[in-house]
Chain A
Amino acid sequence: MKRIIACMMILVVAGAASAKVDLTTVPTRDTVQLTIYNSADLTLVRESRALTLKEGANALQFSWANTLIDPTSLEMLPKAHAAEIDIAELVYPPRVKNLGLWNVASEVSGKVPVEITYLTSGLTWRAFYMGTLSQDEKTMRLQGYVRVTNNSGEDYENAQTRLIVGKVHILEQIAQLAQREYPYGRPGQVGPRPPMVAAPAPRLKRAAMRELQAMTESAPMVAKEVIKEGLSEYFLYTIEGTETIPTGFSKRLQSFEVEGIPVVNLYKYEEERYGDRVVRFLSFANDEEHELGETPIPDGTLKVYRTADEQNHLAYEGQSSFKYIPVGEEVELSLGAMADVVVEPTLMEAKTDNYRFDKDRNISGWDDIETWKVEVRNTRAVPVKIEILRNFDSSYWDLARNGQIDAFEKVDLDTVKFTIELAPRSKRTFEYTLTTYRGVRTEDWTRRSR
């Protein structure tokens, strides 16, 4: 609140050259709304102020030293008497930094509410989550939090805070625009200046703490609700009431809490991707069946705990980061490589067959035949689901399988997926024989498959 200064000046025009400037009022900010993005360092600030205008030419001076405002984004709109007030131009005067001058022609005199909007950087937010698995690992309690951080150089008091989930396209970083010597750059100048971090405005930490404490004491004792709604390709989270976030401070707010989400302990094995380790995932869907599905879940990190005993002591299972999850999509949260579920493919037999020769008696084709045994062991006390992906070096192949497989799928032209569901502390073995066609033998494969 301390650094953005707006003041009204009435220009008494008596010939442009001898304009006399009178400073009349310094209106304060009445309300402020922050719309903070997480995919870019970008916040839309909307504030309302009441100006005292005089009939005729008025000039409003707005300055923003030590903030991270993009001066090209500044805009002012009258909220009353719109037809009688003409905001003709915004002037960035020469040799004055961080200052704009609105020339306003008014047919009314008196108080006029206006809305000033601009983009700033330095305010950020991120989502993070805590998951707590039940003892049997069949369900999870999921708590979502948002953490809003203000490094903008500006204190925002009693601001309505809104958070945007979505991937916004911007051409230049707001922080860079805020550091430009001239708001729109200058002709003949090539390339932007290297970004600079705004020097934190000096302030007494103790005073800020007191301020924050005073705010906290007056706050209601109930957690705030977060209203969520979709707009275009974005999701808008509006935090109930207003927030005060002095510069330099962060604030953590709970965005949702859901009990009893059914989860599947999913393990994946794919040598080309994870090596010879099995990677654990927690799988559920962002839908009604899983007590979710009201809104997308913003990307963030998740710390997973498990209820370890009857006294509700916790065990830490691991950390995962996940991507944005639209409503209705399945989620797979990676908890990293684990040793308690084992997949061991073993080559049991390798042979060649069906040789073909050309007219010079050189080899022109053959089959590679490999038989693999795959042993899958679950050493855990809970049931697990395991997906085993096998990638081949050719798209000319046949596969014969043997043993109990719960699902088999050809993923693409050279990948297959075996799915196995294992009871606690159990193991299973299956076999498959892969015939890969080489040279002219591919022609036989093609003839057959057409």
Chain B
Amino acid sequence: MNGKRLILLAIVVLLAVAPMAQARIKLVALPERAATVIRLDNPNATLIEEERVLTLQKGLNKVDFSWKGVQIDEDSIRLDVLDHPEGVNLLSVSYPPGEAALVWEISSGGDFAETVRISYLLRNIDRLITYKAIADKAETQVGLRSYLVLRNFSGEDFEKARVLLDYGEAFEQGIDHEETKRMLFLKAPKVPIRKIWTFDAAQLPWDPEKLENRNVGIPVSYRIVNDAASGLGRFAMWGGKARIFQDDGRESTIFLGEDNAPLVPVGEKMELYIGDSRDIVVTQRKMKDARINLRKNDASRIVLYDTDELITAKIENFKDSPAMLTMIQHIEGQWDMKECNLEYKRKNAGTLEFEIELPARTEDGPAVTELTMHYHRRNVRTR
């Protein structure tokens, strides 16, 4: 505890002899804080548990608990009696006006030096998780390290506390107010990755020629599975900033990019977006969009029709290595495919997903793959 800042948690035991009006007269005894636990398993709140020894006298005792310079959620404060749970009862809790304090009214069956556990939610102390991954030159696996970052801005110094996460062993750590500590807590040396290029026709421009001197970057991601085969899978991986590097084969690395990793439960996969590829170029064009199968009302107005649509996409791989492109296409409404030269999976009513193997470029130039989608949209109504 640092006495210079007024952040102490004071516990004052009051004897129950005085009438209620005088209950705010504080008496001596400031019991020392014993074992302290900082629980960080909930990402939204940090629970502090601390043990103290209260000197209780037989009868009614009033215990005053006050704090200053720290933010405690008042409704979260609990008191648990450890030594004589049968003989010691918490009768009531009262909050004095205009004070960061509360008074416990405790009945004791005897004169006890009673160990109690006080727990409460403390604001402005938390943890972050960050990841650092170093991919091998061939981009087939990464060495993954995860760091725990403890941030304490609670107003309270913790000289020594047991820190608990939602998995793994608790560890002892001290952390002062305004201090940040970064610790390595997970090392997985060989995590297999899959590199994915994604072209989503709803997100990216169709015709790069129409952009004045701008490249269209095809987003590139690494896919990691949180399972035993990856050397992971023991617990859910918390979300946090992931920085990805690559071994350059010369005892050095380059920085590939960074992304926010989501929380990944065991068995699930995460995709980390590292940057954009400008070596794969997609030129998509609509070559036909005509109304067919017209239905008219008595006034010869078209009320219902189908469409005959043709979309082509030229995919050029300028890379000297093959790549697997995930291409997402969207067709709104009711539709049926008349002809499509590449296989696709229907992800939902209006989304088609193609997994397109792109060969490496040759001496003659880029490897070109063409997609042709000829489809009809059905029962389109006019307004």
Residue positions of A touching B, CB distance < 8 A: 16, 33, 35, 37, 42, 44, 46, 72-73, 75, 87-95, 117, 119, 162, 164, 166-171, 182-188, 230-234, 236, 287-288, 296, 299, 321-324, 326-329, 334, 358-360, 364, 395-396, 410-413, 442-443, 445-446, 449-450
B266, CB-defined interface residue at 8 Å: no
Instruction: Say whether B273 contacts A169, CB under 8 Å.
Output: yes
Picked from A119, A232, A329, the residue with its CB within 8 Å of the CB of B318 is: A329
Nearest Cβ in chain A — how far from B362, in angstroms? Answer: 9
A-contact bits for B134-160, CB 8 A (1 contact / 0 none)? 010101000000000101010000011
Given A44-B245, A231-B248; 15 other pairs, CB 8 A cutoff: A88-B184, A89-B181, A91-B179, A170-B258, A171-B241, A231-B254, A232-B139, A232-B254, A296-B318, A323-B214, A324-B215, A329-B366, A395-B288, A413-B288, A443-B294
Distance between Cα atoms of A386 and B335 in the complex (Å)? 41
Picked from B130, B207, B246, B292, the residue with its CB within 8 Å of the CB of A232 is: B246
Which of B135, B241, B274 gathers most chain A CB within 10 Å? Answer: B274
* Given A166-B275, A296-B279: A449 touches B255 (CB 8 Å cut-off): no
Distance between Cα atoms of A321 and B276 in the complex (Å)? 20
Instruction: Say whether A119 contacts B255, CB under 8 Å.
Output: yes
* Given A16-B174, A44-B254, A169-B257: A231 touches B300 (CB 8 Å cut-off): no
Instruction: Say whether B275 contacts A184, CB under 8 Å.
Output: no
CB closest chain-A residue, reference B300: A358
Distance between Cα atoms of A28 and B340 in the complex (Å)? 64
Nearest Cβ in chain B — how far from A239, in angstroms? Answer: 14
Instruction: Say whether B213 contacts A231, CB under 8 Å.
Output: no
Main secondary structure of the interface of A (DSSP, over half): mixed
Instruction: Say whether B215 contacts A323, CB under 8 Å.
Output: yes
Nearest Cβ in chain B — how far from A202, in angstroms? Answer: 29
* Given A170-B257, A234-B254: A92 touches B179 (CB 8 Å cut-off): yes
B253, CB-defined interface residue at 8 Å: yes
Residue positions of B touching A, CB distance < 8 A: 123-126, 128, 130, 132, 135, 137, 139, 149, 151, 153, 159-160, 174, 176-184, 207, 212-215, 217, 220, 241, 243, 245-246, 248, 252-260, 273-279, 281, 285-292, 294, 299-300, 308, 316, 318-320, 361, 363, 365-366
Instruction: Say whether A168 contacts B255, CB under 8 Å.
Output: yes
Picked from B125, B258, B289, B319, the residue with its CB within 8 Å of the CB of A413 is: B289
* Given A168-B256, A322-B213, A327-B318: A233 touches B276 (CB 8 Å cut-off): yes
Which residues of B sit under 8 angstroms from A75, Cβ to Cβ? Answer: 132
Instruction: Say whether A321 contacts B290, CB under 8 Å.
Output: no
Picked from B123, B174, B181, B316, the residue with its CB within 8 Å of the CB of A90 is: B181
Distance between Cα atoms of A329 and B215 in the complex (Å)? 12
Which of B153, B253, B290, B319 gathers most chain A CB within 10 Å? Answer: B290
Which residues of A sit under 8 angstroms from B361, Cβ to Cβ? Answer: 327-328
Picked from B159, B215, B246, B299, the residue with its CB within 8 Å of the CB of A299 is: B215
Distance between Cα atoms of A168 and B241 in the complex (Å)? 15
Instruction: Say whether A446 contacts B246, CB under 8 Å.
Output: no
Distance between Cα atoms of A359 and B278 in the complex (Å)? 57
Instruction: Say whether B248 contacts A395, CB under 8 Å.
Output: no
Which residues of B sit under 8 angstroms from A322, Cβ to Cβ? Answer: 213
Instruction: Say whether A233 contacts B277, CB under 8 Å.
Output: yes
Instruction: Say whether B180 contacts A182, CB under 8 Å.
Output: yes
Which residues of B sit under 8 angstroms from A364, Cβ to Cβ? Answer: 300
Instruction: Say whether A93 contacts B179, CB under 8 Å.
Output: yes
Picked from B132, B256, B318, the residue with its CB within 8 Å of the CB of A328 is: B318
Which residues of A sit under 8 angstroms from B260, Cβ to Cβ? Answer: 171
Q: What are 23 A-B pairs with beta-carbon distances under 8 A?
A: A37-B255, A44-B253, A91-B179, A92-B182, A93-B176, A94-B177, A119-B255, A168-B274, A170-B258, A171-B258, A171-B260, A184-B182, A185-B151, A186-B124, A187-B125, A187-B151, A187-B153, A231-B246, A232-B139, A234-B254, A326-B279, A328-B318, A329-B316
Which residues of B sit under 8 angstroms from A334, Cβ to Cβ? Answer: 212-213
Distance between Cα atoms of A330 and B260 in the complex (Å)? 36
Nearest Cβ in chain B — how far from A77, in angstroms? Answer: 10
Picked from B125, B126, B151, B254, the residue with its CB within 8 Å of the CB of A164 is: B254
Nearest Cβ in chain B — how far from A82, in angstroms? Answer: 12
Instruction: Say whether A184 contacts B149, CB under 8 Å.
Output: yes
Distance between Cα atoms of A446 and B292 in the complex (Å)? 7
Which residues of B sit under 8 angstroms from A33, Cβ to Cβ? Answer: 252
* Given A234-B256, A413-B288: A94 touches B248 (CB 8 Å cut-off): no
Which residues of A sit under 8 angstroms from B245, Cβ to Cβ? Answer: 44
Which residues of A sit under 8 angstroms from B124, Cβ to Cβ? Answer: 186-188
Instruction: Say whether A94 contacts B176, CB under 8 Å.
Output: yes
Distance between Cα atoms of A14 and B249 in the complex (Å)? 44
Which residues of B sit under 8 angstroms from A185, Cβ to Cβ? Answer: 151
Nearest Cβ in chain B — how far from A362, in angstroms? Answer: 9
Which residues of A sit under 8 angstroms from B294, Cβ to Cβ? Answer: 443
* Given A168-B257, A182-B151: A328 touches B366 (CB 8 Å cut-off): yes
* Given A16-B174, A184-B151, A288-B363: A89 touches B182 (CB 8 Å cut-off): yes
Which of B123, B153, B255, B275 gathers most chain A CB within 10 Å? Answer: B255
Q: Top 4 nearest A-B pairs by Cβ distance?
A: A326-B318, A94-B178, A169-B257, A167-B276
Picked from B178, B274, B300, the residue with its CB within 8 Å of the CB of A359 is: B300
Distance between Cα atoms of A322 and B151 in the complex (Å)? 46
Instruction: Say whether A187 contacts B123, CB under 8 Å.
Output: yes
Distance between Cα atoms of A94 and B320 in the complex (Å)? 51
Nearest Cβ in chain A — how far from B63, in angstroms? Answer: 29
Which residues of B sit under 8 angstroms from A170, Cβ to Cβ? Answer: 257-258
Distance between Cα atoms of A42 and B257 in the complex (Å)? 11
Which residues of B sit under 8 angstroms from A184, Cβ to Cβ? Answer: 128, 149, 151, 180, 182
Picked from B174, B177, B279, B300, the residue with its CB within 8 Å of the CB of A233 is: B279
Which residues of B sit under 8 angstroms from A324, Cβ to Cβ? Answer: 215, 278
Distance between Cα atoms of A364 and B294 in the complex (Å)? 14
Instruction: Say whether B281 contacts A329, CB under 8 Å.
Output: yes
Instruction: Say whether B288 contacts A89, CB under 8 Å.
Output: no
Picked from A87, A93, A167, A186, the residue with its CB within 8 Å of the CB of B217 is: A167
Nearest Cβ in chain B — how far from A358, in angstroms? Answer: 4
Which residues of B sit under 8 angstroms from A328, Cβ to Cβ? Answer: 318, 361, 365-366
Instruction: Say whether A35 contacts B255, CB under 8 Å.
Output: yes
Instruction: Say whether B255 contacts A42, CB under 8 Å.
Output: yes
Distance between Cα atoms of A289 and B72 in the complex (Å)? 72
Which residues of B sit under 8 angstroms from A16, Cβ to Cβ? Answer: 159-160, 174
Nearest Cβ in chain A — how far from B212, in angstroms? Answer: 8
Nearest Cβ in chain B — how far from A437, in angstroms? Answer: 10
Distance between Cα atoms of A234 and B319 in the complex (Å)? 11
Which of A33, A42, A166 gathers most chain B CB within 10 Å? Answer: A166
Nearest Cβ in chain A — how far from B74, in angstroms? Answer: 17
* Given A35-B255, A75-B132, A334-B213: A169 touches B276 (CB 8 Å cut-off): yes
Which residues of A sit under 8 angstroms from B137, Cβ to Cβ? Answer: 231
Distance between Cα atoms of A125 and B143 in the complex (Å)? 30
* Given A75-B132, A323-B213: A412 touches B287 (CB 8 Å cut-off): yes
